[in-house]
């Protein structure tokens, strides 16, 4: 049996795609193998996410992660050096026990996740396995499809669009290569369309365009035109996945208010709004269409729209217990998996397994603040996820994930 142990753990402060500090950790093994991992960061975060530890104070607008770095190089390194990197669950449980809080706020979920992922990378390297095989064995079924965010509203754009993300979901693609190519062609068709209409082609945090258009439905009409311009048929070749991120629409007294249009809406009106929208446009999925505590509202919409995948992001925050609540209430058809909401790889994989056992789909996701890491592409393959959601097919930190998914596909075919 192959035996190795953790010899050294180091960490440093690096910068993410928004220019905010984040943590990168390196785990060095006795056998010579090493693993490096960095952690992304969200903007429209769920209230129940694991805790991202920031330094506060004046330095780097209070967003520095030097405390997290010192926790990794101090307490965590002292405990893990000499341990086997090959038992991910035991390592992650040790990290959680050391922290001692439920949301990992003492050592910082960013510190803990960086170690959890770097250990997995080091172990895979020691065993000479690609990361997806180390985490999940040989992929049994189809590789994940893609959800590409190409048009932005909500908190991510200064326009009149309340829905945060409009994603392309190529549904007629026979391979990852083809799905990505279709997404790229529509992205470029959309760019030329916006340009012709005199609309802005500058891009937001996730690489999607943020044109100043009158409202949400105009965005869908534009996307349909872009799909046709790229020689494809909306609804047949490419469908649309929306992330309204409606936690941000809650008015604090049990109702909703669309922030841009200022319109007040009840839960019933939101359900009606999306049901009608789905009647007029090919909507593949709706992520967080209601508030993050509204398990019942989700269930109502799921019942009203059986043909559309209802996805829980802020609702579940990649948390096994919240997935159980959602399953009991029949709230959603899919779990969005963001490892940094969970804080360790094991916690993220447990939430995913819980969802899978209940027959839910899995969508592995980036954050709006990303690094050049392609870890989540391997994770999506390892989990047998249905989709990888990694932003537009533009900007290095976004395409790194799609390029890795294509590389895995080629590797599996050769």
Catalytic residues: 206, 338
Residue 104 near residue 96 (C-beta atoms within 8 A): yes
Binding characters for ligand PGA, 227-246, by CB under 6 A (x = yes): ----------------x-x-
Q: Which residues fall within 8 angstroms of residue 292, CB to CB, at 6 or more apart?
A: 46, 47, 48, 247, 314, 315, 317
> Residue 309: enclosing H or E segment and its boundaries?
strand 309-312
Distance of CA 290 to the CA centre of its chain: 18
* Minimum distance, C-beta of residue 42 to ligand PGA, in the bound complex (Å): 3
Residues 53-112 that bind Zn ion (CB under 5 A): none
Member of 92, 99, 162, 243 binding Zn ion (CB under 5 A): 243
Region of residue 19 (left: phi > 0; alpha: psi -120 to 50; beta: else)? left
Binding characters for ligand PGA, 240-279, by CB under 6 A (x = yes): ---x-x----------------------------------
Determine, following the binding rule CB under 6 A, whether residue 285 of this chain makes contact with ligand PGA. Answer: no
Determine, following the binding rule CB under 6 A, whether residue 16 of this chain makes contact with ligand PGA. Answer: no
Member of 368, 387, 406, 408 binding ligand PGA (CB under 6 A): 368
Residues 274-293 that bind Zn ion (CB under 5 A): 287
Q: Which does 367 bind (CB under 5 to 8 A by kind): Zn ion, ligand PGA, none?
A: ligand PGA
DSSP label of 75: I
Residue nearest to ligand PGA (CB): 42
Residue 51 in tokens: 């805790």
Member of 267, 300, 367, 404 binding ligand PGA (CB under 6 A): 367
Residue 227 in tokens: 């799909």
Binding characters for Zn ion, 310-339, by CB under 5 A (x = yes): ---x--------------------------
- CA contacts within 13 A on the Cβ side of 348: 30
Q: What is the distance between the alpha carbons of residues 226 and 311, in angstroms, rounded to a whole number?
A: 25
* Minimum distance, C-beta of residue 240 to ligand PGA, in the bound complex (Å): 15
Q: What is the distance between the alpha carbons of residues 136 and 299, in angstroms, rounded to a whole number?
A: 31
């Amino acid at each position: 049996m192959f035996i190795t142990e953790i010899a050294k753990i180091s960490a440093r402060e690096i910068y993410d795609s928004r220019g905010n500090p984040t943590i990168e950790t390196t785990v060095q093994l006795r056998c010579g193998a090493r693993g490096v991992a960095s952690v992304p960061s969200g903007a429209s975060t769920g209230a129940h996410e694991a805790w991202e530890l920031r330094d506060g104070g004046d330095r780097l607008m209070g967003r520095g992660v030097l405390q997290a770095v010192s926790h990794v190089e101090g307490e965590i390194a002292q405990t893990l050096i000499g341990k086997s990197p090959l038992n991910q669950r035991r390592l992650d449980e040790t990290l959680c026990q050391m922290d001692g809080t439920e949301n990992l706020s003492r050592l910082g979920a960013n510190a803990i996740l960086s170690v959890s992922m770097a250990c997995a990378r080091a172990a895979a390297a020691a065993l000479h396995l690609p990361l997806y095989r180390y985490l999940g064995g040989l992929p049994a079924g189809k590789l994940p499809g893609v959800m590409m965010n190409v048009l932005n509203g909500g908190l991510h754009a200064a326009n009149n669009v309340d829905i945060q993300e409009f994603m392309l979901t190529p549904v007629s693609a026979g391979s990852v290569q083809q799905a990505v190519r279709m997404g790229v062609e529509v992205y470029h068709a959309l760019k030329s369309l916006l340009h012709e209409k005199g609309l802005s082609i500058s891009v937001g945090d996730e690489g999607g365009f943020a044109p100043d258009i009158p409202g949400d439905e105009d965005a869908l009409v534009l996307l349909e035109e872009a799909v046709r311009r790229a020689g494809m048929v909306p609804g047949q070749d490419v469908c649309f996945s929306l992330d309204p991120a409606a936690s941000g629409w809650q008015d604090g007294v049990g109702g909703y208010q669309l922030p841009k249009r200022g319109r007040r809406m009840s839960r019933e009106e939101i359900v009606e709004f999306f049901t009608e929208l789905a009647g007029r446009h090919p909507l593949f999925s709706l992520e967080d269409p209601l508030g993050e505590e509204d398990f019942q509202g989700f269930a109502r919409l799921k019942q009203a729209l059986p043909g559309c995948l209802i996805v829980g992001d802020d609702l579940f925050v990649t948390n096994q217990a919240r997935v159980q609540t959602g399953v009991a209430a029949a709230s959603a058809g899919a779990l969005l998996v963001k490892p940094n909401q969970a804080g360790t790889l094991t916690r993220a994989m447990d939430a995913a397994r819980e969802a899978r056992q209940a027959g839910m789909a899995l969508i592995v996701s980036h954050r709006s603040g990303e690094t050049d890491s392609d870890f989540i592409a391997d994770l999506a393959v390892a989990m047998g996820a249905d989709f990888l959601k990694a932003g537009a097919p533009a900007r290095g930190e976004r395409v790194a994930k799609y390029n890795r998914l294509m590389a895995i596909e080629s590797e599996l075919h050769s």
